[in-house]
Structure 1
């Protein structure tokens, strides 16, 4: 499992860990704490969906996994609980 998926799957893991091997890590460290933490979360999300898109899973499985993310995001904006667990 990729680091970005660990961030998504296990909320107690620091999202900063997903950026630690990235060139974005140092740039994000100069932000104020609240903005930095938000950017770590955005980056972790981007890594998670990118890992799905770039995986060796069959196309149908990748499409279903990305659709799961879409459903979760739609549910978030609708104020509903998460549609699935990542």
Structure 2
């Protein structure tokens, strides 16, 4: 969509953890869950053992409860929803 993306505090928290994991650069920590964050989350999901639906397909990069909870446990945040 055109315009400035909305920044969300929870997204910035997840992005900070992805930065700490070396999966996202600090400059991409903007609170906007864009394509770079999706790619970083996909890499985190794969570290957690998840893969795409088809053989050889990467994880989708859409955070679920399991991958967020694991990231939070490692980086000091709690998943509540």
TM-score w.r.t. the length of structure 2 is 0.33
Q: Flag the structure with more relative contact order, 1 or 2, with Cα contacts below 8 A and sequence separation at least 6.
A: 1
Q: Is the radius of gyration larger for structure 1 or structure 2?
A: 1
Task: Point out the structure with the larger helix share.
Answer: 1
TM-score w.r.t. the length of structure 1 is 0.32
